[in-house]
Amino acid sequence: MAWSRAEWIENTMGAWQHITDPIAASMAQAMGGLLQTGGAALPPELAGISSMLSPMLNQMAGSMYSMQLAQALGQLSTQVLTGTEIGLQLLAQPRVVVLPAAVGGFGEGLDIPADDVLLYLTLRETARQRLFAEAGWLAPQLLAMVEHYAREIRIDTSALEDAVDIDDLGELTPDKLLQVSENLKGRLFEPTRTAEQDAILARLETLVALIEGWVDEVTSQAAQGWMPAEPQLSEMIRRRRGAGGPAETVFRTLVGLELRPRRVRDAATLWAMLREARGIDGRDALWAHPDLAPGAEALDDPQGFVHGTSGEGSRAFDEIDLELQQLLNGGPGNAGGPDAPGSDGPAAGDPGDGPEGPDAAPES
């Protein structure tokens, strides 16, 4: 599907709201706290009605954050090339979406036919959507991790106190509200992260790197021999990613999340080595379950992971071999394995299926 920028915003707003709702709630709580921390400074005529002001402050916090969300998504919509380029499944229904206005800008200055640019970006988005559709656990887990990170965010109350004048609460106009929102940009969150946030961020960056590395690998395989401009286009994507993808500023502004998958090249190398060593089915079987997906250790030592000499690689391939053997044999005792028909395991399109589908036999 070809979408306008407005259509992309409309169709991804639900996912963004899930991500940002915890931030809006924290901001409203912090705004309400201004009445308690600054109670002594309240004007006499307002001191006795603090309970009446709290709902107004909550509404004001929601309005300010909504303004920031709208501005950030408007900016992002001018840069994003496809529906899920940022690495998260933001679409309610799996579909391949491109934004022609942005695609045209991406291809400017390249000595490549516009149709090839469009085809290459469509291939990438198709690969990403196929992965999200087949590894059913992946998209929900990514969004859950971002939401979890957002719930741990702490609002910088000192920045709020500087931006909001308690004395002027009765005279807040939309223009003043917009000015307060602008003053809070880049100052809304406390600069320090918790240990839990650091752990979430590390896992999130690894997962996004694995997704983008897999997309790089399968797109390259699909385009090789058919599209002479593929190496040049893949290099353009790498440069675009290295300069900071379109979502980086938005995540930093809205969620305080410094999300940059720095190890996409390592992930692409890992997936290519897995394909060479174990075939397409063996490579994609690692998406069957979150416990099987490679971790940071696999990116540190792709060779050890692929050949099972590292601890993570040995455990993963033991489990994969067992699952594939059960699939071929109809499960233990011919009662049906986790992916066999009639079992309680996932059906096609659920987490147990690799991108090759439930009926794909492993290469031997």
pLDDT in tens, 284-306: 999 999 999 999 999 999 999 99
Per-residue model confidence (pLDDT) at position 316: 56
Q: What is the pLDDT of residue 164?
A: 64
**Residue indicated by tokens 């033991």:** 318
d(CA 57, CA 196): 30
Between CA 108 and CA 60 the distance in angstroms is 42
- The answer to whether residues 210 and 293 touch, using CB atoms and an 8 Å cutoff, is yes
Asked whether the whole model's pTM tops 0.95, one would answer no
DSSP one-letter string for 181-196: HHHHTTTSB-S---HH
Q: Buried b vs exposed e over 86-112: b needs ≥16 C-beta within 10 Å?
A: bbbbbbeebebbbbeebbeebbeeeeb
pLDDT at 18: 85
- Give me the pLDDT at residue 92, please: 87
Name the phi and psi angles at 28, rounded to 5.
-65, -40
Q: Model confidence over 157-201: pLDDT tens digits?
A: 777 767 666 555 555 566 666 666 666 666 667 667 888 888 998
